[in-house]
Structure 1
Amino acid sequence: MATSSPEGQETASHHFTNPPDKHGDDPAIGSAQTAKDEHVYIADGYPLIRRITFITTVCSSMFTNQLGLCNSLTTPEIIGESFGVTDPGNLSWIISGYGLTLGTFILIGGRFGDEFGNKAIFIIGMGWLALTSMMAGLSVYSSYPVFILARTLQGLGPALTVPNALAIMGKCFSQGNRDMGFAWFAASAPVGAMAGLLFGPLFAMAWWPWTYWSQALGVAIVFVIALVAIPNMPVEGEQKQRRTIRDTVDRLDLPGGASGVTALVLFNFAWNQSLVTTWAEPYVYVCLILSFFFLAAFFYIELRLARYPILPVAVLTSDIAFVFGCTAAGWSTFGIWLFYVIRICLNVGGQTPIQLAAWLSPIIVTGIATALIVGKIINKVPASSIMLFAMLCYFVTSLLQALRPVDSTYWTYFFFATIIATFAMDSSLPAATIIFANAVPRQYQGMGSSVIMTIVVYSISLGLGFAGTIELQINNGGHTKEDLLRGYLGTLWFSVGLTAFGTVLALIFLLKDLRRRKLAGNQKEEETTGSTEA
């Protein structure tokens, strides 16, 4: 995803070419300039092969993130059968458990990187993902709850790697190289998704644990390469000072993080667990109620108590609200249509997992192309316009999937919906990041990508919980293909409504942005006229 911030406006560095005395008699200024030139944009000076290795390693975080999500999308029934589990509500945790942990902890993962080093947390995340992937495969010898635990723990790996990968890219490249680095980062998402959709069912045809064991092996290799490929970035000036334990705790905002995580977990758990036990179970709605209490505690801590808030809610503006609303609406529907269109194809249409992988293969070409194009134009086209384009694409995709007859040919509804969906995903992420960066003060620029990614991945998991509730209410138990289809289509029409809402939000934000630009232009013209008359 392409992004920029005020810090990114400097030109490319000139290593070792600006001696201290160029800045007069102030050695501090010269020292600061030299430090910045030598370290902040260290990857600008890499030779081609070194740069490719570095970018590939950093982008592997998004690749493995999407791989971990999509390698199980078409195989829940196969996995569940080996454990004797067939209930759709129980099987949904194979997907939603992973997204729950990822969405809940990604903001905290970014904060840990800021405090303890982005490279260190990135490597820890890769190691954790390798271990939990191995655990997911080995759970075949245990029980289904152990497998779900392993899948849930897997999500913590990308929660640590993704935000720190973005931070590493931003600290090691100057503006132009950084934008294209973020574009390649976004482009790695459809490649990872396609790899998961292809190799997940392929390994499942032999024995499904190999899906996770192969993932563990690949991530372990990345873990080793990252030790060498990612440079040891210099510690920021204020981090060089020795801190007390109290200072560290304050900077991590542990009370705020704990209350926020608890609220997110309980809220998401309630909606997804309701698919298993229904809302008749008291503990389900008790968890939902408790989530609001912890959310209130989170906002109180962030507004009143935290010295270094993990999410500075005090700076959230109407612009940020529009960004959050559009991002949540778009990406929750992405999760819905991807999951339920696959269910329609497998359980009603009679397609196979391998056939679905072939049907979704265009996302590689269009996803990479869209990400790279956005990387080129993101600083030339208003982000509000790109966001509206993305929301329109989300809406059209959801509408095509909801209207698609089960027996329609691939080259009609499904093909065009797949193409348009990639336009939506790979344009909404960079646009949201840019808008966030422009709307908050300079000191909060670094958290922009982490916040947006939190909204993205949490929305996917939560959207599936909402959709699952709708499905169970209208599918009459899902005993026949007609009943199953009725439930699936209900979720897809829900996604149409969400994307329509997101499109309206994006249009309002665009009009606000155009009005703001017009007023700024008029004010500048008046100032110019006044200075000329003077």
Structure 2
Amino acid sequence: MDEEEGKNELQPVKTNQSIADSFSVPREITFVIITCMSQFITQANVGICLSPLDIVGASFGLSNGPELAWFLAGYSLTVGTFILVFGRCGDLFGYRRMFVIGFLWLSLWSLVAGLSVYSNHILFIFARVLQGLGPAMLLPNGLAILGATYAPGRKKDMIFALFGATAPNGAIVGAVFAAIFSEFAWWPWTYWSMAIVSIVCAGIGYLVIEPIRHSKPTDNAFVSLDIPGAFTGITGLVLVNIAWNQAPAVTWAEPYVIVLLILGALFLAAFFVVEFKYAKHPLIPFHAFSADVSFVLACVATGWGCFGTWIFYSWRFLLDTRGISPLLASAQFSPPCVSGLVASCVTGLLMSRIRPAWIMCMSLTAFTLGTVLITIAPVHQTYWALTFVSLVIIPWGMDMSFPAATLMLSNAVKREHQGLAASLVTTVVNYSISLSLGFAGTVESQIVHGDSPEERLRGYRSALYFAIGLGGLGLCISVLYTARSYMKSPRSAPSSSSSSSSSSKTAA
């Protein structure tokens, strides 16, 4: 990763010739596995937080739901807010370089998260927040590496489907190992193990991934990275998110919460001014976006906001209300592994046969219906009734929405902005998960009066009702978008697989 590497960097695939054609079979298998690990590890860090949530909270003397929500919200916050910036860094400085740095960074802060057991919950949350910067480097650059290494075709489509299918598997594997360490050993080993795995992935990634750069090196990184836009945008998003996620824990009566929210809004306003008037290389080229982009991102935000609330409060329902162990809860959360894989394959087949807008409608239906089922599930009902069905349905929302949204954005922007699509969708996905927990926590805090099991259940269900509202809103938006797509081009054929392949190249 020195200057000589920069001179020898390969260019992304633009024809049917594939960089992967030069790989031996063992190297290509290792390459695909290690690149997909970026998605797997990202979601595993969600799972390792959820299953031992009460055990970790108890070690810090915490039992308050809104405070525990920070363990997940802090991580998703930084994953969502930094993806676009680190995607741009990959374009400028090399995808492999950013990919390896992402794993090394994740390893460092996983180590700190485990060591926080000797300190307090503030250090743990701080470490979780900084952990999120690692996946923010891994996701866009992992997608970019795959997109640049493989030429459009069926192999590329299948590899991207595999990349998406690792998400639910990563979350479940993370939850299982976290439960095992927490119940039978010591919970910090969950994070120390993550540090070891990340170090190994960084080393293997450096060996098997070709150094690829999308853009030519520049002497003026300040201009190319759009530092003013990145600073104002990230600061605004972080402050708004902190305000919403902190308010349920300390109430909106705290003056500093209101101050943070106002400052966040001002920074976001400054971001739009910088992007529209002053940035030569804007982080988000709003001028290139059509109205379709707003529809797509609104669907993604509401759907994944619904999912973020569903996953946190479903775990609370199983662990706290039903009182099952973290390991059993992890086992009960295993259906998404199979269901998500099936959903990814079906989505890959549907993308070339029907309009992506219809797939988005199906996705929002799955998000909403899955949340309804867990919300109305009786406490003492068998797992195999509503809970199991909810866990089977929800992955269809996850694994249908991301590829559909990426393709829809790809079709809505000009060719020179294709690389923005996947990064923008990933940003909205992760930020929506984090922000929705703040919204849901506010709803919960207004409903709950006391700490009895009945009151806590009322709080969980009130938060899930909010999630149903988000999913329903997204479903309405997706229906409107579908109708609009028919009004614009009533006879247009569904996107071809080649279009899907082209969109698969989007990253960073």
Under a length normalisation based on structure 1, what TM-score does the superposition of the two structures give?
0.87
The letter for the 2-side match of 1:354 is L
* Residue 438 of structure 2 corresponds to residue 465 of structure 1: yes
Rate the CA distance shift 1:126–1:378 in 2: closer, same or farther, 3 A. same
Shift of 1:36: 5.6
Of 354, 361, 364, the match for 2:337: 364
Deviation at 1:335, TM superposition (A): 1.1
Query: Which residue of 232, 241, 260 maps to 1:287?
Result: 260
- Partners in 1 of 2:70 and 2:170 — Cα distance? 21
Cα deviation code 1:318-360 (max 9, x no counterpart)? 2111111110111111111111111112111122211111111
Measure, in 1, the Cα distance between the counterparts of 2:39 and 2:447.
36
Q: Alignment partner of 2:49: what SS? A: coil
Q: Note the 1:95-494 alignment, pairs <5 A.
A: 95-176=72-153, 177-205=155-183, 206-233=185-212, 235-236=213-214, 239=216, 243-244=218-219, 247-477=220-450, 479-494=451-466
For residue 39 of structure 1, report the CA deviation from its aligned partner. Answer: 10
Structure 2: unaligned runs, 5 residues or longer: 1-10, 494-508
SS at match of 2:51: coil
Indicate conservation of the 8 Å contact 1:105/1:261, yes or no.
yes
| Aligned equivalents of 1:136, 1:295: Cα separation in 2 | 30
Amino acid at match of 1:481: P
In structure 2, the partner of 1:75 is 52
> 1:276 and 1:97 mapped to 2: Cα distance?
14
Higher deviation after alignment, 316-325 or 34-43: 34-43
Q: Distance in 2 between matches of 1:119 and 1:331?
A: 29
Distance in structure 2 (CA, Å) of the matches to 1:290 and 1:37: 44
AA paired with 2:188? Answer: P
Structure-2 separation of matches of 1:189 and 1:286:
36
Does the aligned pair in 2 maintain the 1:44–1:174 contact within 8 Å?
A: no
Q: CA deviation at 1:35?
A: 9.4
Counterpart Cα distance in 1 of 2:17 and 2:104: 26
What amino acid is the match of 2:174? G
8 Å contact kept, 2:51–2:330: no
**What's the offset of the Cα at 1:275?**
1.9
CA distance in 2, matches of 1:509, 1:85: 44
Structure 2 residue identity aligned to 1:68: N
Task: Choose the corresponding residue for 1:92, options 45, 57, 69.
Answer: 69
The Cα of 1:137 is off from its aligned counterpart by 0.6
Paired residues for 1:18-97 under 5 Å: 41-97=18-74
Which stretches in structure 1 are left out of the alignment for 5+ residues? 1-33, 522-534
Query: What SS class does the counterpart of residue 518 from structure 1 fall into?
Result: coil
Per-residue deviation, 1:152: 0.8
* Contact 1:40 1:172 survives alignment (8 Å): no
Shift of residue 45, structure 1, vs aligned partner: 4.3
Contact 2:226 2:282 in 1 (8 A): yes
Q: Which amino acid aligns with 2:223?
A: D
Question: SS at the partner of 1:71?
Answer: helix
Deviation at 1:228, TM superposition (A): 0.9
2: CA distance, partners of 1:519 / 1:139: 59
Report the Cα distance in structure 1 between the residues aligned to 2:287 and 2:268, rounded to whole angstroms. Answer: 15
Question: Which has the larger displacement, 371-380 or 70-79?
Answer: 371-380
Deviations 1:403-457 (A, max 9, x none): 1111111111011111110111001000000000000011110011110000000
Q: Does the 8 Å CA contact 1:73/1:197 hold for their aligned counterparts?
A: yes
Residues 325 and 505 in structure 1, CA contact (< 8 A), matched pair in contact too: yes
Corresponding residue for residue 501 of structure 2: none
Give the total of aligned pairs: 481
- Give aligned-pair identity as a percent: 41
> In structure 2, the residue corresponding to 1:72 is in which secondary structure?
helix
Compute the displacement of 1:78 (Å).
1.0
Name which one, 1 or 2, has greater alpha-carbon Rg.
Answer: 1
Contact 1:320 1:439 in 2 (8 A): yes
Q: For residues 67 and 363 of structure 2, what CA distance do their matches in structure 1 show?
A: 33
Offset of residue 469 of structure 1: 0.6
Structure 1 stretch displaced more, 215-224 or 379-388? 379-388
Q: Which residue of 2 aligns with 1:514?
A: 486
> Do the aligned residues in 2 keep the contact of 1:367 with 1:426 (CA within 8 Å)?
yes
Report the CA distance between 1:379 and its aligned residue: 2.9
Number of the residue aligned with 2:472: 500
Deviation at 1:120, TM superposition (A): 0.4
Q: Which residue of 1 aligns with 2:496?
A: none
Instruction: Compute the displacement of 1:43 (Å).
Output: 1.2
**Offset of 1:378 from its aligned partner?**
2.0
Contact 1:200-1:211 within 8 A present in 2 as well = yes
Cα offsets for 1:79-138 (capped at 9, x unmatched): 122222233222221111111111111111111111111110010000000111011111
SS where residue 354 of structure 2 aligns?
A: coil
The 1-side partners of 2:67 and 2:362 are apart by 36
The answer to whether the 8 Å contact 2:46/2:174 transfers is yes
Letter in 2 for 1:338: I
Bigger CA drift: 300-309 or 375-384?
Answer: 375-384
Aligned-CA RMSD value: 1.7
Shift of 1:513: 1.2
SS of 2:50's partner is coil
- Cα deviation for residue 362 of structure 1 reads 1.2
CA distance in structure 1 between the aligned counterparts of 2:227 and 2:16, rounded to whole angstroms: 30
Return closer, same or farther for 1:197/1:302 CA change in 2, 3 Å cut-off. Answer: same
Q: Measure, in 2, the Cα distance between the counterparts of 1:120 and 1:39.
A: 25
- The one-letter code matched in structure 2 to 1:428 is S
**Aligned position for 1:10:** none
Partners of 2:18 and 2:427 in 1: CA distance:
26
Aligned residue in 1 for 2:5 = none
Shift of 1:40: 6.9
Aligned AA (1:138): L
Whether contact under 8 Å (2:161, 2:344) holds in the other structure is yes
| Alpha carbons 2:12, 2:147 under 8 Å: kept | no
TM-fit CA distance, 1:463: 0.6
The C-alpha deviation readout for 1:494-530, integer Å capped at 9, x for no partner, is 1111111100111111111122222669xxxxxxxxx
Task: Name the CA distance, whole Å, in 1 between partners of 2:269 and 2:372.
Answer: 36
Give the Cα separation in 2 of the matches to 1:474 and 1:384.
36
